[in-house]
Amino acid sequence: MKFMIETYGCQMNVADSELISSILIKAGYTQVNSVYDADIIIFNTCSVRENAETRVIGRISSVASPNNGHLLIGIVGCMAQRLGEQLKKINKKIDFVVGVDQYSQLPEIIENSHRKNQFISNTIFNHSENYNYFIPTRTNETNAFVTIMRGCNNFCTYCIVPYTRGRERSRPIKEILHEIEQAGKNKIYDITLLGQNVNSYMYENNDFPDLLTEINKIDCIKRIRFVTSHPKDLSDKLINVMANSEKVCEHIHLPLQSGNNDILSRMNRNYTAEHYLNLVSKLRNAMPNIAITTDVIAGFPGETEEQFIDTLNIMNEVKFDFAYMFKYSERSGTKATELDDQVPEVVRLERLQRLIEAQTEITTEKYKSRIGTTEEIYVESVSKRNPNEMSGKTRDFKITVFDGDESMINTFVKVKINEAAGWTLKGNIVRDMSLIVAVDENFGIGKNNDLLIRIKEDMKRFKRLTTNNIVVMGRKTFESLPDKKPLENRTNIVLTNDINYKIEGVITCNSVDDVLKICKEYNKDVFIIGGEMIYSLFLPYSNKVYITKIYKKFEADKHFPSLNNSWKIIEESEMKTTDDGVNYQFFIYGGN
Ligand code: SF4
């Protein structure tokens, strides 16, 4: 049978949907992306705000039309946990309701519901369930959400989560590292660790900073993020590990909620405004460029105008990079709904508006201050607004769009920022040379240019081939091309405009600096250079042993016969960066 999942709410739900996919695929189900192709539709729901639930209820009604009579409809997630069997009363087309700790039962529940044509509900909490034995089916090719803990013990008085997700439990460190390594092997370089309060992660005496330290050692991962941090549990040890782990990004989401101590106490947040400000100053001392984002609630029960001003003041003092701002919304089942002195709706809205105005000004200022800087961007997708632009994020989590093409997805590029449009940065790629392909000229180029064809295929595979390539090759390699006359100057390196060697220019290079300069000047990406130059030119830019080894390998292999159709990459270096910030990478080709 074919299933489709519609996900609502937070990243935790996105991660859970990937987990559910994995469980169902393992059981023999097939995932599809359209209701029209599906036999089963699963709504992974959110209960944090009332309108999140209203949206899902509306969507269920539209899907459960007579035209879709064959569809099995299931509800999972927080709303399933909160309402359980009551959901059947809301819409009788619902076939199954499954709570957050019962996802491993889904194949059986679906099967039974389908076979017996009966409604099934299972929302029993299982506080030992961590889904350790399932690697989620990733739906995003650049970013992986990795759940490190489930549930919450904090019982903030406005929040439904402890009732829908149960008590806090941390996943074994070994399982988390395994899941991250798997993501890295699939070339997903950006990891976000998820938990309701990641700062209280604890597994067999390993706390959250210990976990970060271990993840930072995983080679194939380039960026580590995490949400959400509770201010009461943000330790000096964590700040220190963040500052000293090069892969941990300079960003923290630290919910403030209110700037007034009485309101924080009524919210059961267990920290004061002074504690929060102290954390901000410690974070900025350790990481001067850190971006701090937050959540704020306007109009919590009992909030006076003066108490609200305390929140506004803190926002103006801290100058958050971004804030998720909400008016207080009652959730039945939470303590805050029972508090007297609920703030009138109109006042909540008015305060929210003032928060938004203040923060918009701050965010605009922050984003504008980035104009003129060059940022490292992890390219994630084609821009939603303009198919000719790409979209990615800075290390400090700012969406950035720039000129580019799909071949860049999953790579890191440098973008010079020239505009701040709302909460998006815009810029142009600073086109560093990103790749060096070194070819030993003694192998020649192959009778039918098969080496270059092979390289082109590989470049595509590595997503490096852009519309702006260059082939640079040594004199002897150039002369070995069909119909090419000998060059006069022995130090020449030949630049051609593409893989078909249409000559664009002949330029003398005596050092890698020359080569890098030319590449920058020509705004080009790909190099091919004669083998003798590997040693003499690139030695200062790479690991000595590595280059020597390659050179020796070439020397030993000089007797190789013609390698038509048998070229392959025999050595591949890590991506490295020169002192002036140019990225480069070696791919050494040889034959069987
Ligand atoms: S820490 Fe508070 S706001 Fe966050 S999930 Fe737990 S109870 Fe809800």
CA 413: distance to chain centroid? 15
| Residue 149, token pair as written in the block | 């803990």
The Å distance, Cα 588 to ligand 1 centre, comes to 52
Residue type, 451: L
Mutating to test ligand 1, I would choose from 100, 196, 269, 296 the residue with most ligand atoms within 8 A of its C-beta, which is: 196
Q: Which SS3 state, helix, strand or coil, does residue 397 take?
A: coil
Contact 136, 13 (CB under 8 A): no
The Å distance, Cα 191 to ligand 1 centre, comes to 22
Q: Which SS3 state, helix, strand or coil, does residue 291 take?
A: strand
How many CB atoms sit inside 10 A of residue 391's CB? Answer: 20
The Å distance, Cα 247 to ligand 1 centre, comes to 27
Picking from 561, 574, 588, 584, the residue whose alpha carbon sits closest to that of residue 455 is 588
Please give the Cα distance from 303 to 12 (Å, whole number).
30
Which residues make beta-bridge pairs with 98?
Answer: 76, 122
Mutating to test ligand 1, I would choose from 161, 253, 295 the residue with most ligand atoms within 8 A of its C-beta, which is: 161
Q: What angle do CA 150, 153, 159 make, to 5 degrees?
A: 90
Q: Domains in the chain, please, with CATH?
A: 2-122 (3.40.50.12160), 143-363 (3.80.30.20), 374-430 (2.40.50.140), 435-591 (no CATH)
pTM over 0.85? The answer is no
CA 164: distance to chain centroid? 26
How many CB atoms sit inside 10 A of residue 346's CB? Answer: 9
> Is 281 exposed, middle or buried (CB count within 10 Å of its CB: 0-12, 13-18, 19+)?
exposed
pLDDT in tens for each of the 592 residues of the chain?
A: 999 999 998 889 999 999 999 999 999 999 999 888 899 999 999 988 888 888 899 998 888 766 666 789 999 999 999 999 999 998 888 999 999 999 999 999 999 999 998 999 999 998 888 898 888 998 888 999 999 999 999 999 999 999 999 899 999 999 999 999 999 998 899 999 999 999 999 999 999 999 999 999 998 899 999 999 999 999 999 999 999 999 999 999 999 999 999 999 999 999 999 999 999 999 999 999 999 999 999 999 999 999 999 999 999 999 999 999 999 998 888 999 999 899 999 999 999 999 999 999 999 999 999 998 889 999 999 999 898 899 999 999 999 999 888 888 988 888 889 999 888 999 988 754 444 444 444 444 444 455 555 555 655 554 443 434 444 555 555 566 555 555 554 444 454 444 444 444 455 555 555 655 655 565 544 444 444 444 444 444 443 333 333 334 444 444 333 444 455 666 666 665 555 455 556 666 554 4
Beta strand residue intervals within 99-222, DSSP E: 120-122, 143-147, 149-150, 169-170, 190-194, 202-203, 206-207
User: In ligand 1, which atom is closest to the CA atom of 257?
Assistant: 3
The Å distance, Cα 259 to ligand 1 centre, comes to 17
User: In ligand 1, which atom is closest to the CA atom of 196?
Assistant: 5
Strands 576-577 and 583-584: antiparallel
